[in-house]
Amino acid sequence: MGPPTPDPDLSEARRRLLDQRSVKLRWFTGRLDAGRMVALTFDDGPDPRVTPRILDVLRRAGAPATFFVVGANVVRHPELVRRIVAEGHDLGNHTYHHYRLPTLSPREIEAEIKGANRAITGVVGVAPRWFRAPGCLYTREAENVIRRLNMVRVDTTDNSGDWRRPGVGGILRRVSEHLSPGDVLLFHDRVSQTAEALPYLLASLQRRGYRIVPLLELMKGVDHGSPVLADAWPFDEGVRIRRSLVGRPAPHRIASNQRPKLPRPGAGNSAPHPTSEADWLDAWLGWGPELDLPRKPATKPGPTAAQHRMGRPGGA
Show pLDDT as tens, one digit a residue, over the chain (316 residues): 444 444 566 888 788 888 888 777 788 888 776 788 999 999 999 999 999 999 999 999 999 999 999 999 999 999 999 999 999 999 999 999 999 999 999 999 999 999 999 999 999 999 999 999 998 888 889 999 999 999 999 988 878 989 889 999 999 999 988 888 889 999 999 999 999 999 999 999 999 999 999 998 888 766 444 443 333 233 333 333 333 333 333 233 333 333 333 333 344 444 444 344 344 334 333 333 322 223 334 444 444 433 443 333 345 5
Domain boundary among 183, 203, 219: 219
Question: Does residue 126 lie in a domain region?
Answer: yes
Same domain, 151 and 270: no
Question: Does residue 233 lie in a domain region?
Answer: no
Buried/exposed 225-240: b ≥16 CB within 10 Å, e otherwise: bbbbbbbeebebbbbb
Other beta carbons less than 10 A from residue 302's beta carbon: 7
* Domain extent for 110: 13-219
Same domain, 144 and 86: yes
Same domain, 26 and 114: yes
Question: Does residue 101 lie in a domain region?
Answer: yes
Same domain, 54 and 200: yes
Same domain, 267 and 143: no
Same domain, 57 and 139: yes
pLDDT given for residue 311 in this prediction: 36
pTM over the 0.75 mark: no
Identity at 120, one-letter amino acid code:
I
Same domain, 153 and 256: no
The answer to whether the CB of 194 falls within 8 A of the CB of 20 is no
Question: Does residue 296 lie in a domain region?
Answer: no
CATH number, domain of 18, equals 3.20.20.370
Catalytic residues: 43, 188
Question: Does residue 157 lie in a domain region?
Answer: yes
Same domain, 215 and 252: no
Question: Does residue 312 lie in a domain region?
Answer: no
Question: Does residue 313 lie in a domain region?
Answer: no
pLDDT given for residue 11 in this prediction: 82
Same domain, 50 and 136: yes
Taken in order 206, 210, 211, 214, the sign of the CA dihedral is negative
Same domain, 168 and 272: no
Same domain, 107 and 158: yes
pLDDT given for residue 10 in this prediction: 80
pLDDT given for residue 7 in this prediction: 58
pLDDT given for residue 221 in this prediction: 63
pLDDT given for residue 158 in this prediction: 77
Q: Please choose, from the candidates 187, 215, 199, the residue with its C-alpha nearest in 3D space to the C-alpha of residue 66.
A: 215
Same domain, 50 and 168: yes
Total number of domains in the chain: 2
Question: Does residue 231 lie in a domain region?
Answer: no
pLDDT given for residue 27 in this prediction: 84
